[in-house]
Amino acid sequence: MLDLVINIYIWLLIGSAVLSWLVAFNIVNTGNQVVYVITDFLYRVTEPALAPIRRILPNLGGIDLSPMVLILLLIFLRNLLFYDIYPALS
């Protein structure tokens, strides 16, 4: 179940990053109620985990690497938790 939660959160991070690019390039309009609700939900779900990483990372101008760093950390955590220590004992 924890593996599923980590996978869902990784997909939410990817969706949040893609949606932020679409908003930044004015492809989607946040004035649309559906877009606003989705953007607000993704922000509320991902921002508590991304904010501490943003404080640590150096400012790279308009490039935000915090979602990528968090995704890599989550993949590392998932592999650490579910790594089979004794594979195929026979």
The pTM score is 0.85
- The DSSP symbol for 83 reads -
The confidence score (pLDDT) of residue 34 equals 94
pLDDT digit string (tens) for 30-89? 899 999 999 999 999 999 999 999 999 988 888 889 999 999 999 999 988 887 666 655
The span from the CA of 52 to the CA of 56, in Å, is 7
In the block, tokens 């990053």 appear at 17
Q: Are 10 and 71 in contact (CB under 8 A)?
A: yes
CB 22 within 8 A of CB 28: yes
The two tokens of residue 18 are 């893609």
Q: What's the pLDDT score for residue 62?
A: 80
Predicted confidence at residue 76, as pLDDT, reads 94
What element of type H or E holds 21? Answer: helix 2-24
pLDDT at residue 83, rounded to an integer: 77
